Amino acid sequence: MRILFFILIASLSVSGQIFSSDDLLSDSTGRAFADKLFELAWKNYPQNKVFESRVTIAEENLFQTKWNWVNNLNLSYQYNPNISSEPTTSAMVPKFGIGVSVNVGSIFLSPSRVTQAREEQEIATANLETQKNYIKAEVIKRLAVYTRTLDLLKLNTEGTNDSESNLELAKKKFSNGEISLETLNLSYRAYNDSEAKRVASTADLLFNKAALEELIGVPLESVK
């Protein structure tokens, strides 16, 4: 029982320090640890890459849209090898010719398309920043829940140890006829209640630890 407890609390140890819910954000080392978890979460949480890719696509689309007007220009080239070099009436026809045509309608639409592409790029960037804020808030929230559960487990473990000691003492007193069976049963009941709380706290701690590791993508014990 005690071995499992110490294994669990070691998972939030950084350089030998154990954080509680009280000093998590008030302590500079605790804040640095939370920042480290955010860096891991941003690097490893798969959905973040979707938002980064959308920004990249939007920026490329904006670049292409800015230069899309070039596609509205049509360049033609003409070569007339049979045109005589003699000064005749046919000499009025040039041997070489270059022509340029413009799609006027598309040219007028180009600024509007650039504006739309720029807005899409700004939306993608805003969504990326929103995702960063969400991940940071979620990391802090899950870490706070985890440390709170860790604190609760400590209290419940201490309560279980006290109840266990009281039960052993009650057993001896009952054997010596110092207390009644009813009093002994009360000690059993107190111990069982404390143990049930400790087991529930242990399960909650494992659940909240898994929720945090879901974000950061690595075991919490490996974070240094």
Query: What pLDDT score was predicted for residue 75?
Result: 61
Query: What pLDDT score was predicted for residue 47?
Result: 94
CA dist., res. 35 & res. 211, Å (int): 17
What residues pair up with 99 in beta bridges, in sequence order?
Answer: 76
Average pLDDT per block of 10 residues along the chain, 224 residues long:
52 49 66 92 96 96 80 62 55 58 61 89 97 96 93 94 96 94 96 96 95 95 88
26-63: b (≥16 Cβ within 10 Å) or e: eeeebeebbeebbebbbeebeebeebeebbeebbebbe
* Helical spans, DSSP H, in the chain: 2-10, 28-44, 46-66, 104-175, 181-216
Query: What pLDDT score was predicted for residue 217?
Result: 95
Query: What pLDDT score was predicted for residue 45?
Result: 96
Note if the pTM is more than 0.75: no
As its CATH architecture, domain 2-222 has Up-down Bundle (1.20)
103's tokens: 């799609």
